[in-house]
Amino acid sequence: MIASTWPTKPLGTIPDPPRAIVWHHDASPPGPSPGALSWITSSYAGQKPSAQFWVDTQGTWWLIGQGKAWHAGTVGPPYKGVADSANSVGIETDHTVGEPWPPVMLDSLRRGTAALLKAWGHGPDRLFFHKQIGYPYGRKVDPAGLDLEPERQRVGELMRGGAPAPKPTAPAPKPLGGKPSPAQVAFPLGPDGKLYFGPRGGRGAVSGFEGTNLMATDLAPRVRGWIAQIQRAVGVTADGLYGDRTKAAVAAWQRKQGLDPDGLVGWRSWEKLGGKK
Ligand SMILES: [Zn+2]
């Protein structure tokens, strides 16, 4: 079905063929939520399409817009140039956390994905999940209730149902290095050490001040809560803004704990502080 907003001209371009497909869920209430389609298409009219496709609970594919859609947001470094919004196609689904996937919907999603990847000359390894690539890692949970590898396998089986699947056209993105520890995974800014809590100015510093790291993302309301946890633990005013006073108090606390007293909070300090996501 073609949504009423389907444009005559794309709002931006992505490669032809696109380099990847990313599955999402729209977090609409359980059951059929046609209202979600109007939300996604009105975002198109607002020049910020959220996806190129929307698949409903009956398995019907709705075409929302051509060209670029702002579906992926910030992606982890290994996925840039492949699964980011500038290079990939986003498929939104009428689904939310805890909702069962109707078999007809899942079957349609897999078949459509297989057909597109095959037409584009890619392997099933070019299917990605938003919860896998969203950065900082752990920022996204969609599509909930599905695991990537089994879905890639099923899509691959469907692709092999016809002619043999062609080889990927470019090297697939490198997987992340070694498995992160539980303490790294529990750190709210991601397990890879690229972001840390600290005063503004540092390259990966998350300070809670406007215009700094993460304050333009959907994590913004939570950033100051995390910083307030740190401030309470080290005994300074819990205003959610990481400035020089917080840095000095953190450094003093780190010295007592036998940690590197750099005054910055990464996953090691976060674990010792007993911080919660
Ligand atoms: Zn998403």
Determine contact, residues 75/68, Cβ cutoff 8 Å: no
pLDDT tens by residue, 5-49: 666 666 788 999 999 999 999 988 888 888 777 777 666 555 567
Assigned domain for 15 exists: no
Query: Are 210 and 268 part of one and the same domain?
Result: yes
Q: What one-letter code names the amino acid at 1?
A: M
The Cβ of residue 1 has, within 10 Å, a number of other Cβ atoms equal to 10
**Least confident residue range of 1-5, 49-53, 75-79:** 1-5
CA of 262 to the centre of ligand 1 (A): 36
Query: Are 252 and 120 part of one and the same domain?
Result: no
pLDDT tens by residue, 215-267: 887 788 899 999 999 999 999 999 999 999 999 999 999 999 988 899 999 99
Place of tokens 């907003």: 5
Residue 270: strand pairing partners: none
Give residue 267's domain range.
182-273
Closest CA to 144 of 98, 202, 107: 98
Query: Are 52 and 155 part of one and the same domain?
Result: yes
pLDDT at 179 over 80: no
| Nearest-angstrom CA–CA distance, 81 and 73 | 13
Six token digits for residue 52: 């190129």
**Least confident residue range of 168-172, 190-194, 260-264:** 168-172
Q: Is 195 exposed, middle or buried (0-12, 13-18, 19+ CB in 10 A)?
A: buried
Number of domains in the chain: 2
Assigned domain for 248 exists: yes
CA of 199 to the centre of ligand 1 (A): 30
User: Read out DSSP for 19-30?
Assistant: SEEEE----PPS
- CATH code, domain carrying 36: 3.40.80.10
| Nearest-angstrom CA–CA distance, 62 and 64 | 6
pLDDT tens by residue, 141-165: 999 999 999 999 999 999 998 544 4
Query: Are 268 and 207 part of one and the same domain?
Result: yes
CA of 142 to the centre of ligand 1 (A): 5
Assigned domain for 68 exists: yes
Query: Are 127 and 56 part of one and the same domain?
Result: yes
Question: Rounded to an integer, what is the distance from CA 81 to the centroid of its chain?
Answer: 15
| Nearest-angstrom CA–CA distance, 168 and 39 | 34
CA of 135 to the centre of ligand 1 (A): 12
Query: Are 214 and 253 part of one and the same domain?
Result: yes
CA of 127 to the centre of ligand 1 (A): 14
* Percent of the chain scoring above 70 in pLDDT: 88
Query: Are 137 and 213 part of one and the same domain?
Result: no
Query: Are 154 and 186 part of one and the same domain?
Result: no
